[in-house]
Structure 1
Amino acid sequence: MQQSGQVWDAKEYAANGRFVADLAQDVVALLAPAPGERILDLGCGDGALTERLAAFGTDVTGCDRAPEMLAAASARGLRTVAADMTALPFAHEFDAVFSNAALHWTRAQPTVLAGVHRALRPGGRFVAEMGGLGNIAAIRTALQVLLRSYGVDAEEHAASFFPSADEYAGLLQAAGFRVSSIALIPRPTQLPGGMDAWLRTFRNGVLQQVPESRREAVIAEAVDLLWPVLCDSSGVWWADYVRLRFRAERE
């Protein structure tokens, strides 16, 4: 499997995943968007962060494959293009390609990077943040154990890719990029809706592999397993995020 079976719901994402855009200030600073630049926001989702890029005076285009998320982005008045990141329809159009919390949703990384390289003008930059090595390790382990009894390989169905800095730098270089910075950043992240809501929002593609009659029980078991390690003494849930942040230039 190369692509996640994840399904995105714009309302659920706004309620349970807004922290994804809210915590992106450092990767936006690394991008350093300038007025008039043409920027592609790859995996733009509902456009909350794309809108912030536009506020810098950039000429930004949001790109995503999820129709409902694109509709939400378009409703913000943003220019959008429907396309899978593994089949980008652009050629030498952008000064920069930006991506936040999207690249890790596919294992077809050489194909994605080839498309990004093609989309950039010579000397253009690729700035992104994605899940890195060790990302949501406790959550993934709990799901892997719980779903095994149903004959489901949770990691295979998630089809996520969480590389080390060295691994991804090698992929970038092989795709024709010069890496100027790349680092793994541990970032425990508070979950506003708790673990139950996070699982339903960010792992529905995996949970759909469980018979519907057992799905609620599996979610409850996962919450119970994770409570001792990811819920603090005040009852606040945290996800064990590790981010990989980089900047690279098209050679």
Structure 2
Amino acid sequence: MSELGGAALELLDPQAGERILDVGCGEGTLTKKIAERGATVLGIDNSPEMVAAAQANGVDAQLLAAEAISFSEEFDAAFSNAALHWVLAKEQAAAAIFRALRPGGRFVGEMGGEGNLEKLREALDDELIGRGYRPPSEAGNWYASPEEFAEVYEEAGFRDVDARLIERPTPIDHGIAAWVTAFRKGWLDRALVPEGERAEIADAVADRVGSNMADYVRLRFIMRKPN
């Protein structure tokens, strides 16, 4: 996903001397690119494995969930790529990011948007139901519409919120089956699918989809904290 975040990074347009917070930095690939522009960057992620990978990659990274950010007016900008759709405590995260920015600071990024992976998610749920499993009734991700996203962040205090959906069909290099077992592990956990059956289910989902294309829909955004 970091390879697809270049457009959001250009929208951020990091400047030398700025202090920037990377929310959901993952292994730190884009965090390093921000630093290469001359900015000082702190990456945060709620995955110990990702934080360890980022630190091994030479990134200043901390284990911290987006909704638990406690910084106060310390950053000129915040950035996030392919992370906020995992944050279900969206109001708390928006308020925390707002507090972390200095007056006039900007928040830029991308996340999964409304309709993201709809075909893949439907194929997985159909396969689970056909095998007697009950897919979780509560969403595992926040795939927001531009209007819903703007409402949350305006309520947190941000202004000039520009949020847009971008359809981005994307080939999955390792295949749909690998996507199911890796990126829908939590969904399978909640559906109580035994580990020994997951590879077979993943292969069946890949057969249903019939290609390695993922129907990604991204929500790209930029906003500012008032002066």
Letter in 2 for 1:217: E
SS in 2 for 1:179: strand
Instruction: Name the structure 2 match of 1:226.
Output: 209
One-letter amino acid matched to 1:204: K
Q: Output the TM-score relative to the length of structure 1.
A: 0.85
Match of 1:215 among 177, 194, 198: 198
How far the C-alpha of 1:52 sits from its partner, in A, is 0.7
- Cα separation, partners in 2 of 1:69 and 1:155, compared to 1, 3 Å: farther
Alignment correspondent of 1:7: none
Equivalent position to 1:169, from 150, 154, 159: 150
Provide the TM-score with structure 2 as the length reference. 0.93
Q: Which residue of 1 aligns with 2:134?
A: 152
Alpha-carbon distance in structure 2 between the residues aligned to 1:105 and 1:138: 19
Contact 2:150 2:163 in 1 (8 A): yes
1:128 maps to which residue?
Answer: 109
Unaligned stretches of 5+ in structure 2? none
Name which of 4, 13, 17 aligns with 1:36: 17
Structure 2 SS opposite 1:89: coil
Report whether the alignment pairs 1:109 with 2:90: yes
- 1:172-251 → structure 2 map (5 Å cutoff): 172-208=153-189, 209-227=192-210, 231=211, 237-251=212-226
Q: Deviations over 1:197-219 (max 9, x none)?
A: 22222111122330223222211
The answer as to whether partners of 2:111 and 2:219 remain within 8 angstroms in 1 is: yes
| Letter paired with 1:220 | D
Q: Deviations over 1:19-56 (max 9, x none)?
A: x1111111011101000100000000001111111100
- 1:63 maps to 44
Please give the root-mean-square deviation of Cα atoms over the aligned residues, in Å. 1.4
* Distance (Å, rounded) in 1 between the aligned partners of 2:118 and 2:124: 10
Q: Aligned ranges for residues 1-20 of structure 1 at < 5 Å?
A: 20=1
- The whole-number CA distance in structure 2 between the counterparts of 1:52 and 1:223 is 34
- What whole-Å deviation, never above 9, does each CA across 1:135-179 have from its counterpart, x for those lacking one? 0000111122222354432463x6101011111111111110013
Matching residue within 81, 88, 92 for 2:73: 92
Q: In structure 1, what residue type is equivalent to 2:172?
A: L
Structure with more contact order per residue of length (Cα contacts < 8 Å, sep ≥ 6): 1
Range 37-46 or range 173-182, more displaced: 173-182
Partner of 1:16: none
The CA deviation at 1:106 is: 2.2
Q: Could you tell me whether the CA contact under 8 Å between 1:140 and 1:155 is conserved in 2?
A: no
- Tell me, what secondary structure is at the counterpart of 1:23? helix
Code of the residue aligned with 2:203 in structure 1: it is A
Query: What is the percentage of aligned positions where both structures have the same residue?
Result: 44
Name the aligned partner's letter for residue 199 of structure 1.
V
User: Which position in structure 2 is the counterpart of 1:6?
Assistant: none
Instruction: Report the more deviating stretch, 160-169 or 146-155.
Output: 146-155
Task: State the distance in 1 between where 2:137 and 2:25 align.
Answer: 24
- 1:214 and 1:200 mapped to 2: Cα distance? 11
Instruction: Supply the distance in 2 between the matched residues of 1:38 and 1:167 (Cα, whole angstroms).
Output: 29
What does 1:46-85 correspond to in 2, within 5 Å? 46-85=27-66
Aligned equivalents of 2:77, 2:175: Cα separation in 1: 35
Poorly superposed stretches of 4+, deviation over 4 Å: none
